[in-house]
Amino acid sequence: MKLKALILDVDGTLADTEETHRCAFNEAFRLHGLDWNWSIPAYAQLLSVAGGKQRLQAYIDSLPLAAAERALLSKKIPALHGSKTDLYTAALATGGVRLRDGVARLLEECAGAGVRLAIATTTTAANIESLLSSNLGADAAKKFAVIGAGNVVDHMKPAPDIYEWTLRRLGEPAANCVAIEDSANGLKAAKGADLFTVVTPTHWTMGEDFSAADLVLPSLGSAEHPLTGAAAAQIGGTMLGVQELERQLLARPAGPRFKERSSVTQP
């Protein structure tokens, strides 16, 4: 089966960005006079909430506060998130966050094979632009036929809305496309849109349930760090490329297999 489009998540999938996000959140808290500090274990738990603003609201809701104080802090979320985004994009501009192993190779291979590229994520357009430009050059965003950021749909991951939105703009059926994710929320969103889904977990997500994934790999593989063992056996090679993905699509059972919508909404 011909692969028509590859749809990628951003945070954790294109690059392991979460530590940079965590540090940016903490610096934003300091700038706004808040004594909050998200530790690595605390942030790992907060990652179950998709979207930075939603994450902030979930954290505020977890604090033992009077209703008036909670409401006041909730009103500060846009300003807090704006500061955090500025800090995060500034950190990316230094080039300190690199793409995960095999990502640049696969993007280049898809472009050469006529496979369209798309993004489906809960993060902001500014974050996407900063990550792509710092790794692939100023015009990197133009490599993608569709960029679906978190603000274009009402329901965040694990709802499938961002993938369905992206598929509509690609004009392609899900059967001819592949999604790449790193988290259980992302997997559920992609499978909710009936996409063949590859998961490449990070240390933030590796303990999550990926039983619904079509493939779970430690990375996409590269000449420097090829896939080995069971991972290589799954795809019949040492790197996940267009040929390997088309073989996987051809072997996929026909018909929708995972159609469960979530009621999670943006506040």
pLDDT of residue 255: 55
Query: Residues 241, 129, 28, 77: what is their CA dihedral angle, to the nearest 10 degrees?
Result: -100
- At 37-57, the pLDDT tens digits run 999 999 999 999 988 999 999
Candidates 83, 78, 84; CA nearest to 24 is 84
Choosing from 11, 101, 161, 182, the catalytic residue is 11
Give me the sheet containing 196-199, strands edge to edge. Answer: 146-148, 116-120, 5-8, 177-181, 196-199, 215-216
- Tell the residue number behind the tokens 């590229």, with chain if given: 117
- At 27-39, the pLDDT tens digits run 999 999 999 999 9
pLDDT of residue 94: 87
9 classed as catalytic: yes
pLDDT of residue 33: 97
Choosing from 9, 16, 101, 182, the catalytic residue is 9
Give the separation between CA 98 and CA 100, rounded to whole angstroms. Answer: 6
Across the 267 residues of the chain, what is the mean pLDDT of every consecutive 10-residue run?
95 96 97 97 93 95 97 98 94 90 97 98 90 93 94 92 98 97 97 98 95 97 96 96 95 59 32
CATH class held by domain 5-16+98-251: alpha beta
Structural domain boundaries in the chain? 5-16+98-251, 18-93
11 classed as catalytic: yes
CATH class held by domain 18-93: mainly alpha
3-state secondary structure of 261: coil
